[in-house]
Amino acid sequence: MSPGPTWSKIGKYVLTALLASWTAIYTWATSYPDPKPWHILALLSFRIWVPIGAALLIVVLEIYLEVKYQASRTVLKKFLDHLHKKYFPHPTGGLNPFCRVTLFTLGSIRRKSLGVRSRSGGFRRTSKVRWSIKRSEAEDFHGIAGYAWALGIFVPIDGLPDYDNCSPEEKVRYLRETFATEKEVSRLHWKARSYRGLVVKNQRGDKIGVLMMESRQPDGLAHINADTFTGEAEYLQLLLA
Amino acid sequence: MEKTRKINLEAARYNLLKGITIRGVKVQGSLSPYDIPREAAVSYDEMAREYKIHFVYLTPDEPKSERKASPEISLFLGQTSGKLYDIVVRRQELGSLFKIRLELIAKISDLAQETEKSTPPNYIKELNLLVAKKFLEENQELYSVAG
């Protein structure tokens, strides 16, 4: 369900209903017997502006809700940086280049797939790759994010081969263990060799995303287990509330 | 009159690993912090002559459904996740919880085994029941409530 108070949800439904039924309303107004009352004439004279106005209002309402109710990307990014520095300390004090922490969440429009909401580490902070939860929930897992989402438990995967420098058999193993296709893996800028996936839930207990830790070393996440997140899970929940 | 005792659960002590093999991929999955109880509240209602063990999670309680394990023992499980929220033991004298602990543990164990065989698998429910079982087996403090 989208965030926001009840008035905003009702407003969105009313505007969407108006938009969807506008052709029928307009046809009814034109066929109204003469002399037409003033409100029918007003409706006919605004025939283009009513649907445009409704569509604009929906967009404005969506943007307003996104800004007001979604945790700011800056705060989330700082939190992921905090996790990164805490669990993968680097001698320079900066971010460890061999690890990254990503929060995948459902899209505000694409509700059936997980995309990068915020990321710490790695060269690219965003990604166009999306992992389908619809497929994953049907046990046709899509990516480790989809796998963790579908199982709902803490998922650790270690000891994956170096995809760019391994035998074809090892590549097949990599694809099998990451639940991705060759095409999808080729699009990844970062081919991690170990993963930790934790489903993030909101305060109602509904799944809303997956916190993913990745390392370029096959045993780089050996010290990370479900209990590592006991404290952080609550903060993440509050940040996304 | 109701007597209550609250016991904190250390997640690291009770969380369990489960070997899962799906499509040839082996992982050692475990419960996420959202699904492992943080606290257990044990109470005895003298009027109703019943014990209640309530498990508290990071997320608030979801709608529950009752599962009668025996005429005296009821388990209340989350309707969505299958997590164990409450154990109610009826028609008991004060201090008798320890005597029926083996039966209680066996009932939870049976349900965990039943869940393990179910399709599609519900790993949250299965692991959560095993955590509850471990808690009942290992925590002696639980049985001393008003007993």
Residues A93-108 pLDDT 10s? 788 889 999 999 987 6
Report the C-alpha gap between A133 and A47 in whole angstroms. Answer: 41
Q: What is the mean pLDDT of chain A?
A: 86
CA distance B29 to chain A (A): 5
Identify the residue whose tokens are 């579908």: A150
Segment 172-231 of chain A within 8 Å of chain B by CB: 176-177, 179, 198-199, 201-205, 225-227, 229-230
pLDDT over threshold 90, residue A71: no
CA distance A233 to chain B (A): 7
Q: Are A153 and B29 within 8 A, CB to CB?
A: yes
Q: What share of chain A is helix, strand, coil (3-state, %, to 5)?
A: 45, 15, 35
Q: Are B34 and A235 within 8 A, CB to CB?
A: no
Tokens of A48: 């283009």
Report the C-alpha gap between A211 and A18 in whole angstroms. Answer: 39
**What pLDDT does residue A5 have?**
65
**What pLDDT does residue A84 have?**
93
Ranges of H-type helices in chain A: 6-20, 22-30, 38-45, 49-69, 73-87, 133-137, 143-151, 168-178, 182-187, 232-239
Identify the residue whose tokens are 């082996």: B26
Structural domain A71-239, CATH architecture: 2-Layer Sandwich (3.30)
Q: What is the pTM of this model?
A: 0.77
Q: What is the 3-state secondary structure (H, E, C) of chain B?
A: CEEEEEEECCHHHHCCEEEEEECCEEEEEECCCCCCCCEEEEEEECCCCEEEEEEECCCCCCCEEEEECCCCEEEEEECCCCCEEEEEECCCCCCCCCCCHHHHHHHHHHHHHHHHHCCCCCHHHHHHHHHHHHHHHHCHHHHHCCC
Q: Where are the domains of chain A?
A: 6-68, 71-239
Interchain CB contact of B19 with A (< 8 Å):
no
Count how many Cα atoms sit within 13 Å of the Cα of residue A236 in the half-sphere of its side chain. Answer: 31
CA distance A227 to chain B (A): 6
Q: Where are the domains of chain B?
A: 2-144
**What pLDDT does residue A180 have?**
92
**What pLDDT does residue A179 have?**
92
What are A223-236's pLDDT values in tens digits?
998 888 888 888 88
Q: Are strands A131-132 and A207-215 parallel, antiparallel or unpaired?
A: unpaired
CA distance B36 to chain A (A): 9
**Average pLDDT per consecutive 10 residues, chain B (147 residues; last block may be shorter):** 80 84 82 91 87 90 91 91 92 77 90 89 92 88 66
pLDDT over threshold 80, residue A140: yes
What are A158-207's pLDDT values in tens digits?
999 999 999 999 999 999 999 999 998 988 888 999 999 999 988 778 88
**What pLDDT does residue B14 have?**
84
Amino acid at B25: V
What are A113-136's pLDDT values in tens digits?
999 888 998 766 667 788 998 888
Interchain CB contact of B123 with A (< 8 Å):
yes
Tokens of B93: 């004298």
Report the C-alpha gap between B12 and B28 in whole angstroms. Answer: 15
A155: closest chain B residue by CA: B29
pLDDT over threshold 90, residue A72: no
**What pLDDT does residue A1 have?**
45
Q: Do A153 and B124 touch (CB under 8 A)?
A: yes
CB-CB neighbours of A162 under 10 Å:
14
Nearest residue to A156 (alpha-carbon basis) of B117, B131, B128, B32: B32
Closest partner residue to B28 (CB to CB) among A156, A199, A234 is A156
**What pLDDT does residue A125 have?**
66
